[in-house]
Each structure stands twice: as C-alpha cells, then as structure tokens.
C-alpha cells in the first residue's frame, strides 16, 4: 500500500491536504518517539506527556477527515491513554507503557504511507 499516490476518492483540494498531512505525520511520528525517550529518561515527563496528548489530539482531527482512519484511531488511542493516565495521576512510566505500542504502530503506519509496505 502506498497512500502517497493520488486517491481518486478525494477532490483535488482534499487530496492535496491528505498528502500534506502524510508528509507532516512523518515529522510528528519522530516527535512522538522523542517525547517517549524524554518520559523514559524522566525529563519533565508530565510536560512531555501533555505535549504528546495535545499533538495526538490535533493530528487525530485531521487524520480521520482526510480518509486515514487507521492513523486517526492510533492517534486517538495515544491521546485518550495519556489523558486517562494524567487525570488519574498515574506514574509516568506506567502511562508510557500503555502508550508506547501505539507510538510504534504510528511509526509503522507512517512508513507504510510514505514508502509503501516493507
């Protein structure tokens, strides 16, 4: 699957946004990985988790709207798991353990969208 190819389901305007989103997603996937490392290292982990939640929230709204439900669902999982953990004042490492699989999944999907499945 190589989603960077033009998708006929979308209008030219929406297709342009979809491709821009996929490009942007690659950068954001790296940001998620960096934030995971900061949390792991105990560098202001709560701030890093809040940043992660906000970023996931912003990208989730776009993903579903441009026809990338799988990305949207992964981002929603990240957002809700961080939100839940922070609200209940869970240990940051515990929150990270629930979030990390989704961050890994996001990286995998992003790679697939950009370069096709390996």
Partner 1 sequence: MKFLAVDDEPLILDVLKSTLAESGYSDVILAETAADALRIAKAEHIDCFIIDIQMPVMTGVDLTAALRAIDAYAKTPILMNTSLSERHHVDQAFAAGATDYITKPLDRIEFATRLRNVRRMISDNSMAEALKQKSNGVFRKAFRLSREFPEIDHMLEFPVFENYIKTLSRKNLLANSLLSIQVENAAKLYTETTIKVYDTVLADIASAISGALSPAKGLFTHTGGGDFVVVLDRLSKVDPESFLCKVRLAMSVLEMDYNMDGIPVPRILLGKQIVPSFFSSTKPALLLERVMDKSTPRATPVVLPSDQSLRAIMFS
For 48, counting Cβ atoms within 10 Å of its Cβ (0-12 exposed, 13-18 middle, 19+ buried), the class is: buried
Q: How far is the CB of 28 from partner 1 (least distance, A)?
A: 11
Question: What six digits make up the tokens of 2?
Answer: 């190589």
**Closer Cβ to partner 1, 14 or 112, answer by number:** 14
**Closer Cβ to partner 1, 15 or 40, answer by number:** 15
**Is the CA virtual torsion 111, 113, 114, 118 positive or negative?**
positive
Binding residues for partner 1, per CB under 8 A?
11, 13-14, 17, 20-21, 24, 57-66, 69, 72, 76, 79-80, 83
Q: How far is the CB of 41 from partner 1 (least distance, A)?
A: 26
Q: How far is the CB of 97 from partner 1 (least distance, A)?
A: 21
Task: Give the length of the chain.
Answer: 118
**Distance from chain centroid for Cα 41:** 21
**Closer Cβ to partner 1, 21 or 113, answer by number:** 21
């Amino acid at each position: 699957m190589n989603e960077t190819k033009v998708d006929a389901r979308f209008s030219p305007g929406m297709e342009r946004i979809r491709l821009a989103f996929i490009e942007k997603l690659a950068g954001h996937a790296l940001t998620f990985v960096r934030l995971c490392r900061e949390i792991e290292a105990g560098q202001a982990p709560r701030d890093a988790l809040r940043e992660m939640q906000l970023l996931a929230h912003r990208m989730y709204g776009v993903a579903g709207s441009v026809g990338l439900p799988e990305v949207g669902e992964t981002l929603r999982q990240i957002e809700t798991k961080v939100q839940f953990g922070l609200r209940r004042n869970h240990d940051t490492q515990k929150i990270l353990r629930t979030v990390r699989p989704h961050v890994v999944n996001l990286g995998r999907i992003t790679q697939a969208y950009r370069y096709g499945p390996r």
